[in-house]
Amino acid sequence: MTTRLVAHGEPPTYFTFSGLAALGLPHATTTRHFPGVTAPSQPAAPFTSEAAAALREAGLDLARVAYAKQVHGAAVVPAPRGGGWAGAGDVLTTTERGVPLAIFTADCLALTLWDSIAHVLALAHVGWRGTVRGATQAAVRAAVEAGARAGRLHAAIAPSIGPCCYEVDEPVLREFGGAFGRPARAWFSPAREDHAMLDLWAANETLLAEAGVDPAQIENPRLCTACHPDLLYSYRKGNRGRLVTVAALP
């Protein structure tokens, strides 16, 4: 799908996806200029009142936000009714209108899946470990189990580290080989000895398609966090803040 990120503010405090916006999904993916985000490592609200005010114009009520302690796995945690702390996991789901789901990143992918007809929403945190452990497939499966159809899902991949900057070593190569075999080679390009550049975007686009998502309905602006330190946080580049992707069923 052809996509563009629509900037909000100057400098931008958050982006929206052109495709998701055209379809009416309230959502946002923030920049380093966004105010009031804290780490969701414990059952305490990860947003300040300043953050809530900033996202109100996007149609998101952060007083009802659902979030989890992300652990680089593939566990699915349903959002509590009315929002709040969901526990530990990397895939959040809901069928409740107006309850925002929040995923926090600083190089990893934040993946949004939405069936606009069945009114099912899933958000996932997917790094290399989550990719190997099946977080993307788990997100599609959870959406389908909640009533969605895989082929009807609209998917969006938030700004995250790109193949231009994501060098990994031999242990990571072995993990991918063990999980996916020879096909995983398509997601790597040569780097220095015993290292390779990993394309998490291509890997997860492939996994989404294999899980039944129509490739024409996958939005990926391919905006690399490591390439844009003035705009985005990148753990790899030592920028230890948090970006957040939030979406709620209309």
Give the DSSP letter string of 23-50.
TT--EEEE-TT---B---SSSS-SB-HH
pLDDT at 2: 58
Percentage of residues in the chain with pLDDT exceeding 90?
A: 92
pLDDT at 114: 98
39 pLDDT more than 70: no
Q: How far apart are CA 39 and CA 173, in angstroms?
A: 29
pLDDT at 238: 87
For 42-63, what is the mean pLDDT?
88
User: pLDDT category, 28, cuts 50, 70, 90?
Assistant: very high
Kindly list the domain boundaries of the chain, sorted by start residue: 5-161+212-247
For 136-156, what is the mean pLDDT?
98
56 pLDDT more than 70: yes
40 pLDDT more than 80: no
pLDDT at 201: 98
For 52-60, what is the mean pLDDT?
96
Q: How far apart are CA 250 and CA 243, in angstroms?
A: 23
Cβ contacts of residue 33 below 8 Å, gap of 6+? 9, 11, 12, 13, 231
Domain spanning 5-161+212-247: CATH 3.30.420.280: no
pLDDT greater at residue 77 or residue 3: 77
For 212-239, how does the pLDDT look when each residue is reduced to its tens digit (9 = 90+)? 999 999 999 999 999 999 999 999 988 8
For 82-139, how does the pLDDT look when each residue is reduced to its tens digit (9 = 90+)? 999 999 999 999 999 999 999 999 999 999 999 999 999 999 999 999 999 999 999 9
